[in-house]
Chain A
Amino acid sequence: MDLAIPSIDIASLGPELILSIAAILVLMVSVFLPKERKDPACYLSLLGILFALASSVTLWGKPKYAFNNMIYVDNFGLFFNMVVLITAGIAILMSINYLKEEGMSHGEFFALILFATVGMMFMAIGSNLITIFLGLETMSISIYVLAGFLRERDRSNESALKYLLLGAFSSAFLLYGIAFIYGATGTTDLKGISVFLSEATYLNDPMLLAGTGLLLVGFGFKIAAVPFHMWTPDVYEGAPTSVTAFMSVGVKAAAFAAFVRVFSYSLWNLQPDWVLLMWILAVLTMTLGNIAAIAQTNIKRMLAYSSIAHAGYIMVGMVASSELGISSILFYMLAYAFMNLGAFGVIIVFERKGEKNLDIEDYSGMGFKYPALALLMSIFLFSLAGIPPTAGFVGKFYIFGAAVKEGYIWLAIIGVMNSLVSVYYYLRVTVVMYMNEPVKEFTGITWSPSMVIALIIAVIGTLLIGILPSPYLDLAKQSILLMM
């Protein structure tokens, strides 16, 4: 027997390989260095992210299959790669001082962030359900640990346990969906599935439909779509704040990348079957996320519900899976990364050890005491609410525009109404910051250099995309041109 050895195209896996090696090195460095010196670990991880970003840039514009069609390095995947890499970079910058204050500055934290990022990147470039599933699990398992990283703390424990149980539960559904799709089409290759479906005469095979439904459930859990969102507020509230920032953007971006690839490409022939379901999920997700956010008193919990609502807006783009719809998803994801990370960054600066200062009330009077911090928070919240001239506004504009263009006018109207509702609770924080008298003394807000860099990147991103959106929109449009 002569086996055909698949051609190994290491270059096309460059970013992932660099990041994996960096993660292993970080792990080794953190275990061999003396306890007090953990700085090399985080510098090394940042270096790894920079090199991976550079490697992603060099791969841009040359879409190709590699490793026996297991991955497809196209601009769409690379765009999401860059988004998660930027997210990981900013999250690491935000973590350095936060972990020191919590007394949990271990190198493993950075290694786990890098491993989770590798998983996310595989979800984005995977062109086979096996690759996507493995990426999803690499990401999820790392994040289960990260959520429980402050292991002395009850809330962190609880968050990790809830995320673990529900995450594993949901991946079992996803896996069952994959099994059904495999049974119905005879392949796990995304291209193969798409070819099979376009040639099939009978598309109402119950196995296929059940598989599609189970995949929807599995991805719905990961992107926190209603009614699979129950874990989100608890997990986001309990996890260390920098991890919450990382997972609220990174996990969502990666899950949407795989979601779009599977549904808007592979299962496109079933679009009449899933589009109505997606429509309903999008409306439910937006509405419930926004309404529940109004009632929150804890700011992390409020942002958790707001992230549910944002998942709903992005799903509007998926309902209108036209070229414009998908490129607006990409654009929105980039904008969302900067504004959400920024908002969590301000929370981290303001947070004291032992989960103090996390109530919205605690922000009273911050506008007078720390004008710079309050200004930053306002910019990020305005952007999340979708007020011009910020990135959030442009993102929403394109998403709803795409929905209208595809004829989903009601969906767009519901979306716009939801954005109006969301303005209320985002502005409430601003009002509390500028209008209320301080309820307590603000003590010892320290600006660490890494945090300053992270916040500056976030605010520049938010404003630049908001004021000059066209280059980024072109980038997003380019990304889907050569998609599969």
Chain B
Amino acid sequence: MVPISYYLILSAVLFTIGVIGVLVRRNAIIIFMCIELMLNAVNLSFVAISKHLDSLDGQIFVIFVMTVAAAEVAVGLAIIINLFRNKETINIDEVNIMKW
């Protein structure tokens, strides 16, 4: 039996990898993938906690998060494709008309 803390630490590590990816990478698609990694890291936490506490709320939450993530991906990819059609690039450093 693997203790719950292992799952939570794994989830924290995955989440941090996602955060670092968002901050470091410059390709919009890869940033988006890192955000998905963050969401799935949270899902892992939810499932582990749900099993640990023997309550179903966490698993229901995971189902909803997956749906939301799918909707976000669909919209996100559409926005990125549209950007590529207009600018021929998905490097976010080149998407900078507006600056303070």
Interface residues of A (CB under 8 A from B): 129-130, 133-134, 137, 141, 144-145, 148, 151-152, 154-155, 157-162, 164-165, 168-169, 172, 175-176, 178-180, 182-183, 186-188, 233-234, 237-238, 292, 301
In contact, B76 and A144 (Cβ under 8 angstroms):
yes
Give A305 Cβ to nearest chain B Cβ, in Å.
Answer: 9
In contact, A183 and B49 (Cβ under 8 angstroms):
yes
A308 to B38, CA, bound (A): 27
In contact, A160 and B79 (Cβ under 8 angstroms):
yes
A158 to B72, CA, bound (A): 17
Contact of B75 (CB < 8 Å), options: A130, A141, A292, A301 = A141
CB-based closest 7 A-B pairs: A172-B38, A179-B45, A183-B49, A137-B68, A234-B98, A168-B35, A175-B42
Which B residues are in CB contact (< 8 Å) with A187?
Answer: 55, 57
In contact, A161 and B58 (Cβ under 8 angstroms):
no
B56-100 at interface with A (beta carbon < 8 Å):
57-58, 60-61, 64-65, 68, 71-72, 75-76, 78-80, 82-83, 86-87, 92, 95-100
Kindly state whether residue B17 has any CB partner on chain A within 8 Å. no
Interface residues of B (CB under 8 A from A): 8, 15, 18, 22, 28, 31-32, 35, 38-39, 41-42, 45-46, 49, 52-53, 55, 57-58, 60-61, 64-65, 68, 71-72, 75-76, 78-80, 82-83, 86-87, 92, 95-100
Q: A145-B75, A152-B86, A161-B95 are in contact. Are A188 and B61 (CB under 8 A)?
A: yes
In contact, B68 and A183 (Cβ under 8 angstroms):
no
In contact, A176 and B82 (Cβ under 8 angstroms):
no
Which A residues are in CB contact (< 8 Å) with B92?
Answer: 161, 165
In contact, A238 and B79 (Cβ under 8 angstroms):
no
A182 to B53, CA, bound (A): 10
Contact of A233 (CB < 8 Å), options: B8, B53, B100 = B100
A169 to B34, CA, bound (A): 9
In contact, A176 and B80 (Cβ under 8 angstroms):
no
CB-nearest residue of chain B relative to A163? B79
Which A residues are in CB contact (< 8 Å) with B55?
Answer: 186-187
Which B residues are in CB contact (< 8 Å) with A130?
Answer: 57, 60-61, 64
A350 to B30, CA, bound (A): 40
Q: Which of A152, A155, A188 is the most central at the interface, judged by chain B CB atoms within 10 Å of its CB?
A: A188
Which B residues are in CB contact (< 8 Å) with A179?
Answer: 42, 45-46, 49, 58
A180 to B4, CA, bound (A): 13
In contact, B100 and A161 (Cβ under 8 angstroms):
no
Give A289 Cβ to nearest chain B Cβ, in Å.
Answer: 12
What are 30 contact pairs spanning A and B, CB under 8 A?
A: A130-B60, A137-B68, A141-B71, A144-B75, A145-B78, A152-B86, A154-B97, A157-B79, A158-B83, A158-B95, A160-B79, A161-B79, A161-B80, A161-B83, A164-B76, A165-B31, A165-B35, A168-B32, A168-B76, A169-B22, A175-B39, A183-B52, A183-B53, A186-B53, A187-B57, A188-B57, A233-B98, A234-B98, A238-B98, A292-B100
In contact, B57 and A141 (Cβ under 8 angstroms):
no
In contact, A183 and B45 (Cβ under 8 angstroms):
yes
In contact, A133 and B64 (Cβ under 8 angstroms):
yes
In contact, B86 and A172 (Cβ under 8 angstroms):
no
In contact, A155 and B35 (Cβ under 8 angstroms):
no
Give B1 Cβ to nearest chain A Cβ, in Å.
Answer: 18
Q: A144-B75, A161-B79, A188-B57 are in contact. Are A175 and B65 (CB under 8 A)?
A: yes
Which A residues are in CB contact (< 8 Å) with B83?
Answer: 157-158, 161
Q: A137-B68, A160-B79 are in contact. Are A154 and B39 (CB under 8 A)?
A: no
CB-nearest residue of chain B relative to A184? B49
CB-nearest residue of chain B relative to A148? B79
In contact, B61 and A158 (Cβ under 8 angstroms):
no
Give B67 Cβ to nearest chain A Cβ, in Å.
Answer: 9
In contact, B18 and A172 (Cβ under 8 angstroms):
yes
